[in-house]
Amino acid sequence: MHDYQHLSLHKDEHNIAWLTLDVQGKPANILMPEVLDEIQIACSEVKHLAANGLIICSGKANGFIAGADIERFKGNKDAGNNIELAQEYIGQGQHTCDLVEGLDITTVAMIDGFCMGGGTELSLACDYIVATDSPKTKISLPEIKLGIHPGFGGTVRSIKRMGVMKAMPMMLTGRAYTGRIAAKIGLADFCVPIRQLKSTAIHAILNTPAKKVVPAHMRLLEKKPMRSIVAMQMRKQVERKANPNHYPAPFALIDLWKEHGGNASDMYEHEARSVTKLILTETAQNLVKVFFLQSQLKGIGDKSLLSPKHVHVIGGGVMGGDIATWCAAQGLQVTVQDMSDEALAKVIQRANKTLKRKFKKDVISIRDSLDRLIPDKAGNGIASADVIIEAIFEDLDVKRQVFKDVEQKARPDAILATNTSSIPLADIAEVLQTPERLIGLHFFNPVFKMPLLEVVYDEKVTHEVQTAMGCAFGRHINKLPLPVKSSSGFLINRILMPYLLEGVTLHQQGVPATVIDKAAKDFGMPMGPLELADTVGLDICLHVGKILSSSLGINLPDNLQTFIDENKLGKKTGTGFYQYKKGKLVKPAKSNWTGDKHQIQERLISKMLDESEKCLEEGVVENADLLDAGVIFGTGFAPFRGGPMNYLRSKQSA
Ligand code: NAI
């Protein structure tokens, strides 16, 4: 037997070979080149074992395989050697999956926990895929999110297994499927409780049960001329969501299938070529960078610093209600306090809806989350909570009053946090006997969608242990924590507000709202500044704008006040820069404005870039990478541009 580093191979009493992956020095199984090498060696050893079959499984508790080695995709287009390495790696991945598929015994991938990218491609090369029904089991081909598409043969094998109408959406969206859904759509063969996982895998080998086949009428779609028509439809659908100039990968995937879908060996070859070409694009390089930035943010919080069980939220409004529900959905006990019974009733009402949207048909998770969310008008939870988050309205005096009371009742080791978006931390902390305990935990609206959590500290007041605890808490509730210095607007609002106000100014100068918003979206922003202003509420925009304008020296456009005087507050009143019906935007008429659209875009984006540079100079965040990460995950800033500082650098070097 070979002396393996990253896997073990043994035979059981049923004469079945077990290949258990346990990649050394990594918390999750990653298909690094040396791991692929070992799988290849294992394939040739299995041939001499005269086994009844082979089961591939994981020796890690957290999941099956986290995917390919994304380090291999890092580089720049001038560094030719990197691309050669990437090319070699893709070839190695394809060959490994070919070897698994080519074994003349029955093979099974046994999945519990995550299974992503290259891990899914390796599973697809097996005869059977058995997955658990655990909510942690998530199977995906998320390569598109890195600006590429599957490259280890996954484009061919997923279509062969599931049919094009199921496989393409999986690859084009990068969506993850639970074991149950995977079995329903033909990705997995069986979905079973964890206690039956092994026996089901063994059963598959000993009995080779019949496999589901893709219906003939679906197969017809893969033949010419239907293939071209289906590809055209897919292209149209994808174009609605992604600009081909910004995101070429989904279009390359559709073209790959359109051109070579009928011929597997041709498609394998062109899959590899297409992926290596995509890796070279600036989009893929920036998206790979974003992937690592996300890991960097995840690494900021050291979970071992605390093990929170109970969170107490004060204020059951828009933010407090959603923060409480989010924490309950993450498995924590939550008490939520508000002086108004009506507000508390609304928290539960809204939680019902939000949790249904999050967990879909998973009624057990919905029920358990609701059980953990307890209205607490009297604030009894303060005394026992590990973390106390204040989210009452933006009023310094009232917030001070609340914290004075909280400090008296809370445990001495409890984290005290405010969700304020504009009040300097030191102003609130002033009334505390232990001001160094207070931190900001600034969530973004909507809490269920925005991954970033600003952990706000005041250099002179906050104890650094508290900031570290805040970051650790952020990881416990599955947010991306970013430490930011307490200053006007912290990081995100400070960068977003000048962009938003520039949009309002342009409108005041006669540029139609649709032109302004389109210019921003063409750059890659998820929402134009005026639709954003309508969504936030024009009254809130003016309020925050006033606070920031005095400290940042921004000119406030007059037309905001005019809108407010006419009770046009945006989405919530049905009118703002746009019209809304039942909360939905009424499609505005096209404009025939003939001015310089590029200049509009420049004006909007340069506001964000300028403010980003100032934030760095003032040390609001520690470095440019963290600033990029914060702005991407806090505002949705065009991810394919790699963040404002990365964009500035690439503009300067162009
Ligand atoms: P809101 O007005 O929707 O809710 C405030 C709630 O606090 C109300 O239900 C009110 O009854 C309750 N409340 C007031 N005084 C209280 C007290 N002494 N004890 C218990 N409950 C009390 O406000 P919203 O929008 O949820 O904002 C809350 C905080 O979050 C503010 O500091 C705001 O700056 C911040 N924030 C708001 C964001 C947003 O988009 N709305 C985004 C990020 C932060």
Q: What is the pLDDT of residues 473-520, one digit of tens each?
A: 999 999 999 999 999 899 999 999 999 999 999 999 999 999 999 999
**pLDDT tens digits, residue range 178-191?**
999 999 999 999 99
What is residue 81's predicted lDDT score, i.e. its pLDDT?
58
**36 C-alpha to ligand 1 centroid (Å):** 52
Looking at 222, 271, 390, 454, which residue is catalytic? 454
Catalytic site residue 493?
Answer: yes
Is 442 among the catalytic positions?
yes
The closest-lying atom of ligand 1 relative to the alpha carbon of residue 401 is 18
Does the annotation mark 312 as catalytic? Answer: no
Question: Which residue is listed with tokens 């779609």?
Answer: 221
Q: What is the pLDDT of residue 549?
A: 85
Mutating to test ligand 1, I would choose from 392, 395, 541 the residue with most ligand atoms within 8 A of its C-beta, which is 392
Q: What is the pLDDT of residues 335-360, one digit of tens each?
A: 999 999 999 999 999 999 999 999 98
Identify the structural domains of the chain with CATH numbers, from first to last. Answer: 7-280 (3.90.226.10), 305-485 (3.40.50.720), 492-619 (1.10.1040.50)
| Candidate list 149, 442, 476, 507, residue with the active-site label | 442
pLDDT at residue 518 in the model: 95
Pocket test for ligand 1, best of 314, 326, 338 (most atoms within 8 A of CB): 338
pLDDT tens readout for residues 15-62? 999 999 999 999 999 999 999 999 999 999 999 999 999 999 999 999
- Tokens standing for 351? 């939680």
% of the chain beyond a pLDDT of 70: 99
Residue nearest to atom 14 of ligand 1 (CA): 392
Q: What is the residue whose two structure tokens read 């049960």?
A: 209
**pLDDT score for 72:** 84
The answer to whether residues 514 and 590 touch, using CB atoms and an 8 Å cutoff, is: yes
Cβ neighbours, 10 Å, residue 44: 11
Q: What pLDDT sits at residue 414?
A: 97
Residue 78 is predicted with a pLDDT of 55
pLDDT digits (tens, 9 = 90+) for 230-282: 999 999 999 999 999 999 999 999 999 999 998 999 999 999 999 999 998 99
Residue the block writes with tokens 């890796």? 279
What DSSP assignment string belongs to 226-267?
HHHHHHHHHHHHHHHH--TTT--HHHHHHHHHHHHTT-HHHH
Q: Which of 82, 274, 493, 646 is the catalytic position?
A: 493
109 alpha-carbon distance from chain centroid: 26
- For a pocket test of ligand 1, which of 312, 313, 319 has the largest count of ligand atoms closer than 8 A to its C-beta? 319
Residue 80 has pLDDT above 60, yes or no: no
Per-residue pLDDT tens digits for 573-613? 999 999 999 889 999 998 999 999 999 999 999 999 999 99
With a cut of 70, say whether residue 77 has pLDDT above it.
no
Q: Which two tokens mark 234?
A: 């897919």
Distance CA(68)–CA(152), nearest Å, equals 9
pLDDT at 228 exceeding the cut of 80: yes
What pairs with residue 584 in β-bridges? Answer: 581
319 CA closest ligand 1 atom index: 26
Question: 523-582: per-residue pLDDT in tens?
Answer: 999 999 999 999 989 998 998 898 888 888 888 999 999 999 999 999 999 999 999 998
How many CB atoms lie under 10 A from the CB of residue 199?
Answer: 11
Residues having CB within 6 Å of any atom of ligand 1 = 314-320, 337-340, 343, 391-394, 398, 402, 419-421, 443, 445
Q: How far apart are CA 435 and CA 428, in angstroms?
A: 8
Stronger pLDDT, 179 or 85, i.e. the higher one: 179
Is the pLDDT assigned to residue 79 strictly greater than 80?
Answer: no
134 is catalytic: no
Whole-number Å distance, alpha carbon 393 to ligand 1 midpoint, is 4
Say what the pTM is.
0.89
Tell me whether residue 610 is exposed, middle or buried, using C-beta atoms within 10 angstroms of its C-beta: 0 to 12, 13 to 18, 19 or more: middle
Q: What pLDDT is stored for residue 548 in this prediction?
A: 87
**103 Cβ neighbours under 8 A, 6+ residues apart:** 43, 46, 47, 54
Query: Would you say 323 and 351 are in contact if contact means Cβ atoms under 8 Å apart?
Result: no
Inter-axis angle of helices 597-617 and 513-523, to 10 degrees?
A: 60
Q: CA 133 to CA 517: how far, in whole Å?
A: 43
**Alpha helix segments (H runs only) across 511-617:** 513-523, 529-536, 538-552, 559-565, 597-617
